[in-house]
Amino acid sequence: MFIAGNWKMNGTVAEATALARALVDGLPANAPTTAVFPPAVHLAAVGEVLKGSPIFMGGQDCSGAEKGAHTGDISAAMLADIGARGVIIGHSERRTDHGETDAEIQQKVEAGLGAGLGVVLCVGETLAERESGAAQSVVREQLEGSLPKVFPGGSVVIAYEPVWAIGTGKVATVEDIASMHGMIRAWLGENQPELAQTFILYGGSVKPSNAAEIFALDEVGGALVGGASLKSDDFLGIIAAAMKP
């Protein structure tokens, strides 16, 4: 299992370090792999708190370019340099707010892997796409368009996040999650054999009260958690749900 907290654009340095401290102190022995993704400007301070703990840290995005004249952007190498070990790429909020295309996301995945970061690649359909029956084909297209054509090695975890379930309190049904995760698993086996066994996370309004039934599904290897990752008790509750046999 892999439990990831996406802190998005929230909080102050003091709040971020306090949250990290509470997670370090509260993390049970034998917890699943746990990662947090603080805002970029909080990475250095959070990294100090996490030092020596099993919780690892990543960035929420990186540039597809290596370096140079890209005002405001952050390179994968800069994330690695500040102590990040992973990066979220292709989150639906980046696709929507910044118009990121699959081709750009593919460059970012390659940049992240090139810098030695573990990548959490997000895919997921909008409500209109689900209602028109296109959910699986949309996600398949995102996988095809955003994973490297020739896999360069390294670690990629897939996060299936239906856009309409993010931050809305609406969770996909267990049947929908199971069938999408099954499709992703099959697609990876056929098209990206290096990633055939990788974790496939679910994301979208995961909380302590619904985590256990989601984690019980066959191909669900953990969660990408937004809102509930900002409260240490909730995030630790989700981690506890992932430890249930």
* 167 is a contact residue toward ligand PGA (CB under 6 A): yes
A 10 A CB-CB count for 139 gives 21
- Note whether 86 binds ligand PGA by CB under 6 A: no
Q: Which stretch binds ligand PGA (CB under 6 A): 18-26, 54-62, 79-87, 224-232?
A: 224-232
Rounded Cα distance, 61 and 48, in Å: 20
Indicate the residue among 3 and 77 with the shorter CB distance to ligand PGA: 3
Q: Using CB under 6 A, which of 20, 89, 226, 235 touches ligand PGA?
A: 226
| Token pair in block for residue 59 | 């960035």
Residue type for 164, please? W
Closest distance between ligand PGA and the C-beta of residue 170, in Å?
A: 9
For residue 150, the minimal CB distance to ligand PGA (Å) is 28
227 binds ligand PGA (CB under 6 A): yes
Cα angle 89-38-41, degrees, rounded to a multiple of 5:
100
Query: Are the C-beta atoms of 64 and 111 separated by less than 8 Å?
Result: yes
Concatenating the DSSP letter of every residue in 227-242 gives GGGGSHHHHHHHHHHH
Each residue 168-207 as x (binds ligand PGA by CB under 6 A) or -, in order, gives -----------------------------------xxxx-
Beta bridge partners of 6: 37
CA gap 155, 168 in Å, rounded: 30
Confirm whether 219 is a catalytic residue: no
Closest approach of Cβ 130 to ligand PGA, in Å? 16
Kindly state whether residue 5 participates in binding ligand PGA, applying the rule CB under 6 A: no
Alpha helices by DSSP H, listed for 51-131, are: 76-81, 92-97, 102-114, 127-131
Q: Please state the closest distance from residue 190 (CB atom) to ligand PGA, in A.
A: 27
Interaction of residue 224 with ligand PGA, rule CB under 6 A: yes
Which region among 100-108, 161-169, 190-198, 212-220 touches ligand PGA (by CB under 6 A)?
161-169
- Measure CA of the first residue to CA of the last residue in the chain; give whole Å: 12
Smaller CB separation from ligand PGA, 77 or 238: 238
Residue recorded with tokens 């340099």: 81
Least distance in angstroms from the C-beta of 210 to ligand PGA = 11
d(CA 123, CA 163): 9
Residue recorded with tokens 């099993």: 54
Query: Residue 34 interacts with ligand PGA (CB under 6 A)?
Result: no
Residue of 91, 93, 100, 181 with catalytic role: 91
Active site residues: 91, 161
| Contacting residues toward ligand PGA, per CB under 6 A | 6, 161, 166-167, 203-206, 224-228
